[in-house]
Amino acid sequence: MTEAVHHPLCELCQQDGGLLVVKTEKLRVVRVDDSDYPGFYRVIWNDHVAEFTDLATADHVPCLGAVAIVETLVRQHLKPTKVNLASLGNVVPHLHWHVIARFADDKHFPQPIWGQAQRDVDASRWSELRDKLPALDQAIKEALLASVMQRA
Amino acid sequence: MTEAVHHPLCELCQQDGGLLVVKTEKLRVVRVDDSDYPGFYRVIWNDHVAEFTDLATADHVPCLGAVAIVETLVRQHLKPTKVNLASLGNVVPHLHWHVIARFADDKHFPQPIWGQAQRDVDASRWSELRDKLPALDQAIKEALLASVMQRA
């Protein structure tokens, strides 16, 4: 095990970056509290690296495996129209993957959530999906821990 | 080898989706002709699948491996401030990864390229980088073909 590398001025080194769902030695999954997007998770690498290709090649699979676990379970639980995946990090250059459930009637669809809003959506649209989030969080936690055990 | 799956109405099944850099059995890399973004590539899965997790698990590594090859070479050749990776597909739900070299003085930085423009940038800003693109395309082609040979 190598020493963890953290940056004193990086907010993803200092904070979880959302509601913590599960944390492993290498990474964590958080859920983003966004009133427009009920199924919005981030997979955040624990060490302070900026780019996906700053990871050791051996870490590509656990990193993207976690993204795939979140995407799979988001699809099963929330049945989104589409899932959006993105690693941007222009503002916070600490490797984090956005995993965002998109719905045809959400605020920005079919634009990316960073684009021009397409419509106003009443928060009640998401209440049924929000009710599913505790079970989804739990499923993500269990699947991610199981995947770590399997590789260990 | 399984039969290729294509959709008659999908533009990424009917067209390359950009300037073709290299095509393998499973995927292709194209360069996007965008006057604001000189280092903008897409890794496009050849078969018509919508989501990353629609791929067989065995295909996750070649798919993300191609994204990593493009990112690595874009970083080496263009020295961007940041690389942005994204699989969105809300408009064209056929798996494709955007790999975008971002620069602190580009049109949208630090916003995603789908966000609000931050400034006007003269096309001459990118002329030196554009001169590097033929060599970058060639390096991507060689590295991707080598990675396929290595796995075969």
Residue-wise pLDDT for B90-113, tens only, equals 999 999 999 999 999 999 999 999
Which CATH class for the B11-151 domain?
alpha beta
Confidence of residue B3 (pLDDT cuts 50, 70, 90): low
CB contact under 8 A, A82 and B75: no
Does B134 score more than 50 pLDDT? Answer: yes
The nearest alpha carbon in chain B to A82 belongs to: B90
CB contact under 8 A, B86 and A86: yes
Report the 10 Å Cβ neighbour count for A98. 21
Q: What pLDDT sits at residue B152?
A: 77
Contact criterion met (CB below 8 Å) for B105 and B121: yes
Report the 10 Å Cβ neighbour count for A69. 22
Q: What pLDDT sits at residue A1?
A: 45
Mean pLDDT of chain B: 95
Residues of A in contact with B87 (CB under 8 A): 84-86
Residues of B in contact with A90 (CB under 8 A): 81-82, 84, 102, 109-112
Mean pLDDT of chain A: 95
Q: What pLDDT sits at residue A151?
A: 82
Residues of B in contact with A84 (CB under 8 A): 86-90
Q: What pLDDT sits at residue B81?
A: 98
Does B49 score more than 90 pLDDT? Answer: yes
Q: What pLDDT sits at residue B1?
A: 45
The nearest alpha carbon in chain A to B65 belongs to: A60
Helix axes B57-78, A57-78, angle to 10 degrees: 120
Would the ipTM clear 0.90, i.e. be above it?
A: yes
Q: What pLDDT sits at residue A16?
A: 95
CB contact under 8 A, A112 and B88: yes
CB contact under 8 A, B115 and A114: yes
Q: What pLDDT sits at residue A3?
A: 58
Does B55 score more than 70 pLDDT? Answer: yes
- Give pTM, 2 decimals: 0.96
| Sheet strand arrangement including A19-23 | A19-23, A27-31, A40-45, A96-102, A82-87, B82-87, B96-102, B40-45, B27-31, B19-23
Chain A residues with CB within 8 Å of chain B CB: 50-53, 57, 60-61, 64-65, 67-68, 71-72, 75, 81-91, 93, 102, 109-112, 114-115
Residues of A in contact with B51 (CB under 8 A): 71, 75, 82-83
Q: How far apart are CA B5 and CA B45, in angstroms?
A: 11
Q: How far apart are CA A136 and CA B7, in angstroms?
A: 32
Residue A93's identity, in one-letter code, is P
CB contact under 8 A, A90 and B102: yes
CB contact under 8 A, B90 and A83: no
Measured between CA atoms, how close is A114 to chain B, in angstroms?
Answer: 5
Six-digit token string for A49: 């690296």
Name the stretches of chain A with pLDDT < 70. 1-4
